[in-house]
Amino acid sequence: MIEISTRPSTALAGKLLLVVAAVALAACSSEAKRLRLSCADGNAADCNTLAYRLASGDHVLQDQPRAAGLFEQACDEGVAEGCYRLGRMHQESTGIVGDSAVAISMYRRACDGAEMRGCTGLGVLYRDSVGVPQNLTRAAGLFQQACDGDDALGCSHLGSAYVAGEGVAQDLARAAGLFEHACDGDVMAGCIRLGDLVASGDGVTQDLDQAVALYREACDADAGAGCFKLGGAHANGAGVTQDSTEAANLFDKGCDLQHAESCFTLGNMYATGTGVSRNLGQASWRLRRACRLGYEAACRDD
């Protein structure tokens, strides 16, 4: 008896994929057109959505100056997220000439409009004295407002303030709780800072296994600092079996993720042959990269 295959041929499968892709592209183009028409008709929320797509190149040709204009339009019409995103563009000079005064104004409007990321952004500017006189108390208050509004990044920044005693009384136990909240909200900086407190036993019970798990979570999420911390744990045998080769692999990943100290540490490992075969060419390359990423010690040793 001859069996007749019901599987599509490779050529047919390829054609089907092309059809599906074409349909998806047409749908995206149709949605972009709808957003443009709706924005032109005065729908501020759609102006904000279109601006986001233009800023990121999401199924449309990337046009950041045009995105900035639309974010401003959305902001002026009461969309607080538009204020936040325009503020961020100005803070980071993303596709436009940044203006710290505009960033401050936009973040303030976003925060006043209950866009908690605006409160966090404004807090960072007050903390780092960008366009405004440094005011650590004001910064901590803004981070608290953002955290209370469930902005996980705000919680992470507030935790750092409690660790350093900047604008608030130092309280490591309080900081640990804030970092945990931030980590639960997928802010990897929170996971890493919580890992540091757990590793040292500051403000919480020391637990090296938990610290390693937190660093691994951050590294798995492509946070270079998490890979560096996990690499350090393997290098020192803290919470895991000492393994210089695994440490080198983790520093390599951290370096690829543009974490400067990972590059610096790996460069030194190549220079001494620790966990890797001694290779002065690799050592020099990693140290140069660490220098380019802003790690001053690598520049001195280069």
Task: Please state, as a whole number, how many other Cβ atoms lie within 10 Å of the Cβ of residue 302.
Answer: 12
Cα distances from 216 to residues 86, 106, 237, 250, in angstroms, run: 34, 36, 15, 10
Percentage of the chain beyond pLDDT 70 is 90
Mean pLDDT is lowest, of 46-60, 101-115, 153-167, 238-252, for 46-60
Determine the Cα–Cα distance for residues 225 and 229; give it in Å rounded to an integer: 6
Which pLDDT does position 300 carry in this prediction?
78
Alpha helices by DSSP H, 185-259: 188-200, 208-220, 224-236, 244-256
Q: What is the pTM of this model?
A: 0.86
The two structure tokens encoding residue 178: 């804030």
- Is a pLDDT exceeding 60 seen at residue 43? yes
Between vectors from CA 88 to CA 106 and to CA 141, what angle results, nearest 5°? 65
Q: Which residues contact 279 (CB under 8 A, 6 or more apart)?
A: 270
Determine the Cα–Cα distance for residues 1 and 24; give it in Å rounded to an integer: 41
The SS3 call for residue 134 is coil
- Is a pLDDT exceeding 70 seen at residue 28? no
Which pLDDT does position 15 carry in this prediction?
52
For 14-27, the pLDDT digits (tens) are 555 544 444 444 44
The two structure tokens encoding residue 233: 């744990």
Alpha helices by DSSP H, 63-205: 64-76, 80-92, 100-112, 116-128, 136-148, 152-164, 172-184, 188-200
Q: Predicted confidence band at 202 (pLDDT cuts at 50, 70, 90)?
A: very high
Mean pLDDT of the chain: 91
